[in-house]
Structure 1
Amino acid sequence: MNQRFSAAMFALLTVTAVSGDAADLVLRNASIVTADSDFRIVEAMAVEQGRIAAVGSSEEIDRLVDGQTEVVDLQGQMVLPGLIDSHVHPSGASRYEADHEIPTMDSIDDVLDYVRARTRVVPKGQWITLSQVFLTRLREQRFPTRAELDAAAPDHPVWFRTGPDGSANSLALAENGIDREFAAEHPRHVMTDPKTGEPTGVIRQSSEVFKTRPAPDTNGPGQAELDQRLLDLLQDYRRWGITGVIDRNCDDAARAQYGRLLQADQLPIRVRLSRSLNASGSEQQIREQLDAISADPLFQNPQPRLGVIGVKVFEDGGMLTGSAYFSEPWGTSRIYGIVDPRYRGMQFIDEQRLENLVRPTVQRGLAFTAHCQGDAAVEALVRVYRRVNEDMPIAPTHSTITHSSFMSREAIDGAAALGIGVDLQPAWLYLDARTLVAQFGQRRLEYFIPLQSLFQAGVIAGGGSDHMQKIGSMRSVNPYNPFLGMWVAVTRKARWHDSAIHREQALDRQQMIRFYTINNAWLMRAEEELGSLEVGKRADFVVIDRDLLRCDDDAIAQTQVRSTWMDGRKVFDTAD
């Protein structure tokens, strides 16, 4: 049965029949945030067959209790809809430390200490790679230099990768044939010393010109171990009240991994997939990819715990690495290793090709999204959406802009008019804004993660983490603790920085909760089933230890989950 139909029918049947039927579960004496259109706060809630049967006062809901009903007196504790993260990469994140633990790195010395430690383990001549230690989060605010990496590992090629860009040592450059002559032929990709023309070691859009060499085959983790690591991570999400996520770049291997967990009845949360789309293929290859994705049974008939929503491509580089595509030049930069004053970043897909990707995606009813960090990349995607929308409506597909870190007033208004969503990562403001202020100044950050402007315009904006590495809500690269994200959305505070970043873009408390609940349910294409505590919807909810509508701002980030429930069943409890 269609999920939207089943939820609507359940609501109708429940409204007409609930007064005479006992519930399976009743919460009473609580502060239940419905996150519905009126944002009601109620005392009690009844659950029947995994769905919400009624909400109201404790006296009203007590009429639905009989001897078989489980009654939970919450003694005034707050209940939220199950939290949703709009942007994660769980399969890769769970594998990240399968070989060895990788310490937190806050400085260049930390990076070099790690590289030196690996030289004592990795045989000479084999590659040492380190992924996603962002230079914006290092106290020195720069890439490790070629010379520093040479000194730390004179006998190993080294690659310090931060998304599409990175820094290499001399052996790594030599193995790729990157010298002064090569650099002169590839100025977009290979950064050079302006005085000597020698490569500095910094490579932009590295996949175009730079390859690493895998280590010889070893007895690495097998499929069963990798599946268990993914299961462990998804269970840790529940510890933080997260009952649903969107995997924002799901390849075939990850799709198969989720499928195995689903088939074994072990998928612990609700997962929706934005499938990877290879944007560099021919038009025929693109159509074949889209046909295969749209024919997936998990798109045609999503399961409660797993479904496909659409596809994702990469429109530009990264703001954390120096390659996001801007309307104004980046400006020369010691931080990012930029020497060309005209440099505006890197656009990976030109606008016409972008339209040739969006149009067949929308024709198939799939949600399209593109990684867009800089304002020029965002504006290009909005223009493409507008042109496609002239021929077929975009809004029903729940297409989005991914990240949309830097926006403009025009892009916000365009997104609102088209009915497209935006998935943003507020923790980046906390972790990276110190560096961005130093690079761009306050003026260019006016529409950096512009949450209040998006909400005021009526754009459906959802909160995500872009969790990529490690298990652990605060030790992970890009922390997935949703309460940290909520705190940043309300305070706009940045680490190692004295003042809030454009406080006028902060959310109020109700918006903060919608940001991680009903808005993200829309991005999941599941707002009829999830995201608010309303009659007929699935009974996914979380009990927390404080009142998020009234506590001090700085207390938001310290919120602890007492219990997490899915389909009216407890799936995490601090007492366990």
Structure 2
Amino acid sequence: MINNRISRRGVLTAAAAGLATTGIPGAAHARGTADTVVLNGKVLTMDRRFRRAQALAVRNGRIVAVGTNREISRLAGRGTTVVDAAGGTVLPGINDSHVHFAAYGTAVPPLSWPVDGATIAEVQQLIARAVAHFDDAGQPDAWVRGGGWNDNRIGAAPNRHDIDAVSGNHPVLLGDFSGHAVAVNSAVLRLAGVTRDTVPPPGGVIEKDAAGEPTGVFRESAAALVAGVVPPWSRADLSAGMDAAVAGMHALGITSVTDPGIDLAQLSLYEEKFRAGELPLRFTIMMRGGRTLAELDQVLAELRAPRIVDPAWLRVSQIKLIADGIPTAAQTAWLHEPYVDGSNGVPLTEIPVLHRLIKKAAAHGFQVGTHATGDAAIDAVVAGYLAAKGRAGLRHYVIHADLTPVRTLRTMARNDIGANMNATIKYLLGRTLDPYLGPARVDYQWPYRTALDLGVRVSSASDAPVTPPAWLQGVSGAVLREGQFDGGAVAGKAERITLREALESYTSTPAWQDRAETWKGTLTEGRVADVCIVDGDLLTTDPHDLPGLRVSTTLVNGKVVYDSGASSSRAARTTAAGVQAFSRDQAVSCLQRGECCCRLSEKLLAGS
């Protein structure tokens, strides 16, 4: 609850409860009136000592004091905004360290439609719903774009015949939940000119039926064969999606994001919206590095630092590369030890080329994050990082890092190479990959405990819209390792981590990954006042119940940008609930014209 005046009753009630002082330096000695104070909270500073407090004070966008209600209330004046945390947990603003921002914002109807049914029949019903929307709107041949189908769950991908039966005259393109495959109907095959004789590009798969005809399912780079005929999002669509995403992030307590795989046109839109004051969120931008030296050379030649934008808000500092696919039913992750069926997958970027890309990006001062899920791919990426020469302290990292070998984790720890893991994807998949990886590797997949014990810095990210940016679900998942679709079966008890470690992976460690730990990621004096307040006590809540807690208030740079009790926040709550429910209940559409964690969605967003 936000007040313009201090609630003296609230302060006295908290004091009467016997909450102790914290001994945090600066709390009792700060001078001057605060712009904003947060009182009556269970403040988790997330500093190295995991110190706790009751309250904090903000001036000029920075935290000036953290301490008891009595200490902090002394810094409030007539013009001070007072936020009553009402006993809730006060955290640093959440940092989703790998989220496809525009894709998240466009992941709702009518731009994109959920099709994550438990059976092919359910998928068809969901397609029919989208088709009916366009027919009713007088658009009988409009493109239907959607996603979320999960062949790990269904047992098979929807094929062109399945889609044809319910799509009428509409061209239909549907992404799977991971963004590494698409399914299209016959209309799209005709538009793209794909036939039984079409040759897939390197690393791509065109699935065919017993007669040798394409089924309409394209995996990895083969999706580019149909992506070129899909109308790209307009600049207005992308801008509106970004506005919706900002509201959704604020309602979830998220104040910083890393947006991976951005191209130069998207970057110009970011700059434009920042200058217009339309993006009150902190962004670390990963430029799309491509798969060839020519592609990276073009990005490096044309890239210019954003003008008139503070790098604390928009920082272009990373290059994204891709080593392999994913270790799901698609089996496109590159493994040393084969899948259950004996195959190993292949790298999606030639390893000598990948190493040259890493070296060139590092030489130009860019931090490199590389998508790598299979153990062979991860080993190749880490070898490339070790061989690259560049400015010290770049902190390259492995994106996803699903099956990182123990020996490689040791190497990463010694060389300050980070890992960006996905607790929400682990929750989504649970034990569904047992038939492909075997139970032992499913237990190990996303080895949080092993990595942390060996000294690897591990950040957690949603990879939205692959999964929603539901960080409380991620915290719960990292602590419990229970799956969504398999009755809560545990997938790797030995890789469980503590609540504190899970919270660090969403706050202080992503700040380290961003090379910004000196000014964000903790609630300590001098750090930016990015704050998330949750309406419960995270330290005493059963981990199973964490996803049910709600964010009550979010501050960015000391300003309240979301208040669950304010009428002005209704739109934000609606946006967050709509996008999050769509993503959660439909296993998320990754067909958005956003750059998911693979080249497929990058190409879709570019319309290439």
Bin of the TM-score, shorter chain as denominator length: 0.7 to 0.9
Residues 527 and 547 of structure 1, relative CA distance in 2, 3 Å threshold: same
Tell me which amino acid in the other structure corresponds to 1:143: A
Residue 558 of structure 1 aligns with which residue? 548
Residue segments in structure 1 that go unaligned for 5+ positions in a row: 1-13, 333-340, 469-476
- SS of 2:519's equivalent in the other structure is coil
- Indicate the residue corresponding to 1:86 in structure 2: 97
> Is the 1:492–1:500 Cα contact (8 Å) retained in structure 2?
yes
1:149 aligns with one of 163, 172, 181: 163
- Partner deviation per Cα, 1:495-525 (whole Å, 9 max, x = no partner): 1224211012112011111011011112222
**What is the CA–CA distance in structure 2 between the aligned matches of 1:570 and 1:427, rounded to whole Å?**
27
User: Could you list the per-position Cα deviations for residues 390-444 of structure 1 after superposition, in whole angstroms to 9, with x for gaps in the alignment?
Assistant: x4466x1132111122221122112212212222221111112232123222112
Tell whether 2:317 aligns with 1:309: yes
2:48 counterpart residue number: 37
The counterpart of 1:290, out of the listed 274, 291, 300, is 300
Provide TM-score, normalisation by structure 2.
Answer: 0.79
Q: Once superposed, what is the RMSD of the aligned Cα atoms?
A: 3.2
Identical counterparts, % of pairs: 27
Residue in 1 that maps onto 2:404: 407
> Structure 2 matches for 1:213-362, cutoff 5 A?
214=229, 223-224=235-236, 226-282=238-294, 286-293=296-303, 295-297=304-306, 302-320=310-328, 321-332=330-341, 341=342, 343-362=343-362
1:270 CA drift (Å) = 1.0
- Equivalent residue, structure 2, for 1:478: 467
Report what 2:490 is aligned to: 500
How far apart, CA to CA, are the structure 1 residues paired with 2:82 and 2:139?
Answer: 63
Q: 1:5 corresponds to which residue?
A: none
Decide which moves more: 78-87 or 321-330: 321-330
Q: Distance in 2 between matches of 1:479 and 1:237?
A: 10
Structure 1 window deviating more from structure 2 (125-134 vs 554-563): it is 125-134
- Pairing 1:89-238 to 2, within 5 Å after superposition: 89-97=100-108, 99-100=110-111, 102-103=113-114, 105-107=116-118, 108-117=120-129, 121=134, 130-136=145-151, 139-153=153-167, 158-162=172-176, 163-170=179-186, 172-173=188-189, 176=192, 178-182=194-198, 189-193=205-209, 197-207=212-222, 210-212=225-227, 214=229, 223-224=235-236, 226-238=238-250
Larger deviation: 366-375 or 55-64? 55-64
CA contact (8 A) 1:520 1:531 kept: yes
Alpha carbons 2:113, 2:130 under 8 Å: kept:
no
Comparing 220-229 with 405-414, greater Cα deviation is found at 220-229
Query: Relative to 1, partners in 2 of residues 1:562 and 1:190: Cα closer, same or farther, differing over 3 Å?
Result: closer
Q: 1:55 corresponds to which letter in structure 2?
A: V
Alignment partner of 1:440 out of 437, 440, 445: 437
In the alignment, is the contact (CA less than 8 A) between 2:286 and 2:319 conserved in 1? yes
Matched residue of 1:493: which SS? coil
Give the match for residue 531 of structure 2. Answer: 541
Asked if structure 2 preserves the Cα contact closer than 8 Å seen for 1:157 and 1:171, the reply is yes
Tell me if the contact between 1:127 and 1:212 (Cα under 8 Å) persists in the aligned partners.
Answer: no
**Cα offset, 1:93, TM superposition:** 2.9
d(CA) in 2 for partners of 1:18 and 1:90?
Answer: 41
Deviation at 1:188, TM superposition (A): 5.9
Structure 2 distance, partners of 1:187, 1:482, is 33
Distance in 1 of aligned mates of 2:404 and 2:115: 31
Distance 1:246 1:170, change over 3 A: same
**In the comparison of the two structures, how many residue pairs are matched?**
534
Q: 1:336-383: CA deviations, max 9, x gaps?
A: xxxxx4x32231112211111111211122111111122221111011
Matched-pair contact (CA < 8 Å) for 1:136–1:435 = no
CA distance in 2, matches of 1:460, 1:351: 25
Worse-matched range after superposition: 451-460 or 98-107 = 98-107
* Inter-CA distance 489–155: structure 2 relative to 1 (3 Å threshold): same
**Distance in 2 (alpha carbons) for counterparts of 1:199 and 1:16:** 67
| CA-CA distance at 1:485 after TM superposition | 1.0
Gaps of 5+ in 2: 1-24, 567-608
| Equivalent residues in 2 for 1:48-59, closer than 5 Å | 48-59=59-70
- Using the TM superposition, give the Cα deviation of residue 313 of structure 1 relative to its aligned residue in structure 2, in angstroms: 1.8
Give, in whole Å, the separation in 2 of the partners of 1:562 and 1:72.
10
Relative to the length of structure 1, the TM-score reads 0.83
Letter paired with 1:517 = T
Question: Residue 79 of structure 1 contacts residue 542 of structure 1 at CA under 8 Å; is this kept in 2?
Answer: yes
8 Å contact kept, 1:543–1:562: yes
CA apart distance, 1:130? 4.1
